Copies of this chain bind each other. A is one copy, B any other.
């Protein structure tokens, strides 16, 4: 790969997810135990498939959000443990179904469940985990939390279908794309951060604040993910540079480069994304066009915009270690590109 994409220096180099990890450590141990127990089944293939994905080394950011947003208000029961596990199961189910939908062979550098056990097992074990997620929510017994998470389940599925219908269409606008990532990624971040204050029985304004924090953090997270695909270290994402390009996925760096390009450049993008011509030589050209129009830096700036909204959403909350940790997560999500 001959093209190096220079990314602007990010001011938050020290940003880290570590404060959040430290604060939620004992809670996450309980979540991890519950994950293993609820992924169990007498039907042997279920824990096999589930554990393959569960043990594949994700950061578990979503369940940490649920733990933090309950514990920061002094909540000490076990409802947040169960809801955090539900959130992680919803995420895992989505990944299993996504791999079938995208026909992916690799996730985070490991073979996907569907290449080992087949599409069948991926669809059905995803359904099982979703069912277990709902059972845990029912155990908690909060209709508000059930409302938030069942609505998120619908919105996520809707977002995935929307993504299918914008797929390989270069006329997709930035707004269309935002609607997709708001539904398929940010909605679960928002729900994860909203059920914490629900179990902690805070006032409505606090609940809205954390929902807004989660939503905007999720948008920033996904935009940076899109940047990493064209300039990231594959160790960070388990993806190789250009995977999205080769799969004809429309993401913001591509949308910006297309809309800012010449007629001839737009034709190049159409042939690449809509026409499926995406060999290494064309990837080189795509990377140089992305660099020419500053599309990665501008995508990062969009991410910073949403990060700022997330920070302002948190601003009125009491100045605690929890709040600092949640603010650090914003910077961490964005600074992954460095």
Residue positions of A touching B, CB distance < 8 A: 41-46, 97, 100-101, 119-121, 123-125, 127-128, 130-132, 134-135, 137-138, 141, 143, 146-147, 150-151, 153-158, 160-162, 164-165
Docked pose: A164 CA to B49 CA in angstroms: 13
* A167 CB to nearest B CB, Å: 9
CB atoms of B121 and A161 under 8 A apart: yes
Known: A46-B161, A131-B157, A138-B143. A97 touches B123 (CB 8 A): yes
Asked whether, in the complex, the Cβ of A161 is within 8 Å of the Cβ of B119, the reply is no
Chain A interface, >50% SS class? helix
Take A43-B162, A162-B43 as given contacts and tell me if A124 and B147 are in contact as well, using a CB distance cutoff of 8 Å. Answer: no
Q: Which residues of B contact A165 (CB under 8 A)?
A: 43-45
Contact B161 A124 (CB under 8 A): yes
Contacts known (A130-B130, A135-B150); A119 close to B100, Cβ less than 8 A: yes
* B124, A160: Cβ atoms closer than 8 Å: yes
B157 touches A128 (CB 8 A): yes
Copies of this chain, count: 2
Are B147 and A130 neighbours in the complex by a CB distance under 8 Å?
no
Tell me, in angstroms, the Cα distance from A161 to B43 when the chains sit together.
Answer: 7
Report the minimal beta-carbon distance from A112 to chain B, rounded to whole angstroms: 14
CA distance A143 to B153 in the complex (A): 18
Taking a contact as CB atoms under 8 Å apart, the answer to whether B157 and A125 are in contact is: yes
Give the residues in chain B near A46, CB-CB below 8 Å: 158, 161
Chain B residues contacting A155 (CB-CB under 8 Å) are 131
User: When chains A and B are docked, how far (Å) is the Cα of A143 from the Cα of B135?
Assistant: 10
- Distance to closest chain B CB from A198 (angstroms): 13
What distance in Å separates the Cβ of A183 from its nearest Cβ neighbour in chain B? 9
* 22 interchain pairs, CB-CB under 8 A: A43-B165, A46-B158, A46-B161, A97-B123, A101-B120, A101-B123, A119-B119, A123-B123, A125-B157, A125-B161, A127-B157, A128-B157, A128-B161, A130-B153, A130-B157, A131-B157, A132-B154, A134-B146, A134-B150, A135-B151, A138-B146, A143-B143
